[in-house]
Structure 1
Amino acid sequence: MTKSVGALTVRTDPTLKEVVVDGKDMSVYVFAKDTKPGVSSCDGECATQWPPVPAADAEAAKGLNQELLGSITRADGTAQLTLAGKPLYYFAKDTMPGDVKGQGVNDTWYASAPDGWKAGVKRQALGVLDHPKLGKILQDKNGRTLYLFTKDEPWR
């Protein structure tokens, strides 16, 4: 039986700021070693400690963009939820709602921020979000989208 994810939302953590949680307020994580699009790098024993978040009934709620949710097919054929293209995981040692015990484990596991980036980690001044439908989008250090006004005159 697949675990029900429910509505993903954003919770404010006193240290990490914005953290993505499932419908039961359990934190979800991103893995720094997931660098190949559409592929999870966490199988076998890794997936026992870091269970993949199932994609079946997930939806975005308060503070999360539904368009950033997607899924990949794992090696075992199951669908894993993604946020901005990054596979999402639970941490087996998170036993209570609101736990973020997986933050920073082995310098590769991080609670997910609402844009799929690492929560609680200082961002570069500018970053690029790889949106599943729109492609690459420029963002500021807080994950806010930057826009271009095409009627502006250069250097005036």
Structure 2
Amino acid sequence: MKYLGSALAIAAPLLAIPAQAQSSAKDTNTPTIVAQGSAPKVSAFITDGNGRTLYTLGDDKESKANCDAACMQHWQPYLTTTRPVARLVLPGLIDTIEHNGKRQVTYRGNPLYLFDGDTKPGDMNGKDFSSAAYMVSVLGEIEKPLPAMADAGPVLAEVMEHGKEVFASTCAMCHGAQGQGAFGTKLAGFDRLANTPDLLRTVVLGLNSMPAQGPLLSDDQIAAVTTYVRNSWGNEFGAVSVEQVKAAR
């Protein structure tokens, strides 16, 4: 459960290169960058070096780009003439494929595009423009809409007490006894805890410097501690059930 907050926010190993990405890669001396983006209540996602959101398209098969001329009226393939560089993402997931005689950047096999309706860092208009356009997480997961999770019910006092005990023994050293942050990110008032599936994936599977807790904690313990952090220190995000934890494994 260590480094929970930072795990939701960043992924590594990391390479930080102070240069701007160019989707057309006009200057062969300028590296094409795949970087990390973040926004409230959204899993850490990938962007170009200028902070513009990168997408993959549902019409593409893994490692094969199928965006035709009509598609490219709105979707610009993310091209490169150099080896792409990772900035706060996983370098091993970055590769390229051939697309109309050029090299298109991929992430975990997903061909990447920029959307012409995104004009500034943080814009994510592409996912609303087309039901077949998806953002990509720093783990290379396609961020398709998740099915609604069953209501976990009310926040029970006994669950909060159990979660407090698990937090004290497993998480407090990094995140502070009051969620104020230490080596790990401050959890007090942390909006991303509202994203139940993302929180559970991080706790169960681990991310970056946070080890996977799935093999170490029971479903009951994970449900309790996530309920606790989601409803302490000013957070009011509701309960997490054992059934939700099981679904995340």
The answer to whether TM tops 0.5 is: yes
> Within 5 A, what are the aligned runs for 1:129-148?
141-142=201-202, 144=206
Q: Secondary structure at the match of 2:79?
A: coil
Aligned residue in 1 for 2:78: 53
1:105 aligns with one of 129, 133, 139? 129
- What is the identity, as a one-letter code, of the residue corresponding to 1:3? S
CA 69–84 in structure 1, closer or farther in 2 if over 3 Å, else same = same
> How far does residue 87 in structure 1 lie from its aligned partner after superposition?
0.2
Aligned residue in 1 for 2:103: 79
**Residue 28 of structure 2 is aligned to residue 3 of structure 1:** no
Q: Secondary structure at the match of 1:96?
A: coil
Question: Would the aligned equivalents of 2:23 and 2:32 in 1 still touch at CA under 8 Å?
Answer: no
> How far does residue 8 in structure 1 lie from its aligned partner after superposition?
1.8
Q: Secondary structure at the match of 1:103?
A: helix
Structure 1 Cα separation of the partners of residues 133 and 23 of structure 2: 23
Number of residue pairs aligned between Structure 1 and Structure 2: 132
CA 7–15 in structure 1, closer or farther in 2 if over 3 Å, else same = same
CA 120–34 in structure 1, closer or farther in 2 if over 3 Å, else same = closer
2:39 aligns with one of 4, 10, 13? 13
What's the CA shift string for 1:38-93, capped at 9, x where partnerless? 3112111201210000133421111x11110001101x211100000010000011
Q: Which has the higher helix share?
A: 2
Cα-Cα RMSD: 3.1
Q: Which runs of 5+ in 2 are unaligned?
A: 1-21, 26-30, 148-199, 216-249
**Residue 90 of structure 2 is aligned to residue 65 of structure 1:** yes
Structure 2 Cα separation of the partners of residues 144 and 44 of structure 1: 40
Structure 1 segments (4+ residues) deviating >6 Å: none
Q: Which has the higher strand share?
A: 1
Structure 1 Cα separation of the partners of residues 59 and 139 of structure 2: 17
Question: Would the aligned equivalents of 2:23 and 2:80 in 1 still touch at CA under 8 Å?
Answer: no
CA 29–144 in structure 1, closer or farther in 2 if over 3 Å, else same = farther
Bigger CA drift: 10-19 or 88-97?
10-19
- What is the identity, as a one-letter code, of the residue corresponding to 2:132? T
- What is the identity, as a one-letter code, of the residue corresponding to 2:91? Q
